[in-house]
Structure 1
Amino acid sequence: MSLTEFEIKNAKPKEKAYSLSDGRGLILDVRPNGGKFWVARIWIDGKEKRRGLGTYPEINLKKARELNYETRKNPLTLKSKSAAFGDIAKEWMDKMVLPTKAPSYSRCINMSLNKHILPKLKSLPLEEITPGMILSICQAIADDGYLSAAARVRQFISQIFDYAIASNLIKINPAASISKALQSPPEVHYAAITGDAQIGALLQKIYSYDGELVKIAMKISAFTFCRPSEVRESRWEEFNLDNREWCIPAERTKMKREHIVPLSKQTIDILKELQGISGNKQWLFPSLRNNGRPISDGTIRVALRVMGYAKEEMTAHGFRAMASTTLNSYEWPADVIEAQLAHIDKNKIRRAYNRSMYMPQRIKMMQWWADYLDAVRTGRKVPKKPKVTINL
């Protein structure tokens, strides 16, 4: 019996992987982590061969059937187990990375591939690559002092082999066994200003900064504590000032989930001020070069340095840490803070409702945070935290 889009969409992960058949050799593998992989099964000389066709929903049912038909029509195009690493790496990029990851992260992966990985592994068959080869690549990077880069390279290679395993091209991931052989990179904390007086001084400098567009970008960063890329690449179409909401689409968020930011009264006033500057543009913060792009990722960082903050004191990403530390110190519920920070929820059931989870509490918290920033900037008493209850 043929599958339907409804059945595929609602196929839930189980403790062990299982398959759903669409007929004519096309199956959908459902993994325990929720991943769904299309596989074409054909028989050559009485032996079953498999080919990975991509992931769902990137490859929908109609497209999977087309790919399955082409595979059965031309079975000699089926990849053998001597597939070269470089070919599978490209397929992984095209099907698993580019459609689902942020452009900045995709560029990071592509740079690591071209600089560190492909020069050594590109032409090698998958089954000939050993843990020692991968360790040698990563260790050379670590020996130069780049421990985090070495860990990322191992992770990317491991993900490519996981993709090859899911496509039935190989059975073992040689990158998985070397993780403990590499020195762990130090835990990174983004530099951030904390403490009422220090935050107040930062806000004073922001409000007196010479450069209206960048000044407002820093204000929005402080009042919403969204990720730097989400702020600088924000578009007017994402904002509903009447509903006091900023809806960041899934493709622009780190976790690839739509994220709602309640807007305080102060943030609404800032945005209305900004409309007079860039309201007729696509971006809230268009580049001054008029090249159809937003401001660069270094704009706020440079502004902070101009204001006298060293990189060890404050960063563009530090507005998030500043808010998180302060809200926790004033005993706002941790779950509410984490939801507003758009951190991934380890609870799978709650994660499904993360878009609007704790919204009434988040609305109160964001208004209190704005009132707090105004208070510490002007030397007034910090506002009393409203009563917040959570019913689960």
Structure 2
Amino acid sequence: MFQKNIQKRPLSEKILATLHPKDRDYREHDGNGLYIVIAQNNTKFWQFRYKNADGKWAWIGIGTYPQISLLMARHKAHEYREALAKGEDLKALKRLHKQQNKKETLYFQNLMCDWLNIKVKQWGEVTYNKAEKSIYKHLIPAFGGRDYVDISAKEWFEFFQGLQRNLGIHTQVEKLVAYVRSCYDWAKFQGKINSNPIDGMMKYLDRRHNNNMRFIEIEEMPVLLERIRTCKPRAIGIGLELMILLFPRPSELRFARWEHFDLQKALWTKPAETTKTRQLHQVPLSHQAIQLLKELKEIQPESDYLFPGRGTLHQPISNMTFNTNLNKLGYEGRQHPHGFRHLASTVMNEMFSHKGQVIEACLAHKKKGVKAIYDKAQHLDERRVLMQWWADFVN
């Protein structure tokens, strides 16, 4: 039961703060049919009083305070008065709004917005802005107003394949797939969906193949490894396996010197003059890579280079040596030494879409813009974990 002495005065946030519970629920009148109820348990909620179709006084709830502010409550009361003037049924109107609001919570754009709110705290400003721009350029116009549960794996596949073939944005598509996959994973762990329609999709989308980016499917890796491990000479086989495990740019491994490696600290420090970015780059060494380097040290002639050229110990091997040997193993036109970088990037982005910056650091990609100025992080500890995971995965 309510106390009958309802106050009649325009409310304010200051007045609302002074309204305390009494021994019975009571109402305060703001005006124009809008009331706030102060319950005995100290909850406050808005109500609108009106005459229904039978000419009797009735109440309809608006929401709790302060979740629904005074301004919002007045706006909703104004909507109700306009609806009554048009002869509309407020109860039916409220049910319709509730259904619409429930439907909108299932929109893909709202799910993606919630996911981005998490990523804004995890990513750097430049990374976040680039991702957000790409998402709102490609994903939201296509699927923003759709129920994310109803978007089928086939629709997603055809959409991404269309971007590849019509726009030729293969690298951007890889990132978009990673964003959507991570977004659905988040929804799955929130109990909103049971399965992720994007899982495993990258292996069936078109590959970006140019002369130096050709790479096999990951399922073909066991056969390739078996052939590499029987490759003659053994030193070249070790080089090709290191190319897989460490995925450097081929020239970086060609010019690698023993002095750059610290097996005790499990680090390969590439000097700036040997890298594409002209920046020093450290590569954590997995257990498997260290074993291969120890074996290589035993079988190679004395030289500053890991892979000295034929007939000379003072120059590295030819820039075609690794590619030529891959061709001899039966992978001509299918696997290029540089393609191991793309293969590693594809798999790791598929498995660890939330670690984009760490993967970029593994690949020694140069940071751009403000990120390059202020973010000097190498993510070394995280890269150690990721590089060991990759070596274990490959093996």
For this structure pair, what is the TM-score category when the shorter chain's length is used for normalisation?
A: 0.3 to 0.5
Please, what TM-score do these two structures have when normalized by structure 2? 0.45
Which one has the largest radius of gyration? 2
Please, what TM-score do these two structures have when normalized by structure 1? 0.45
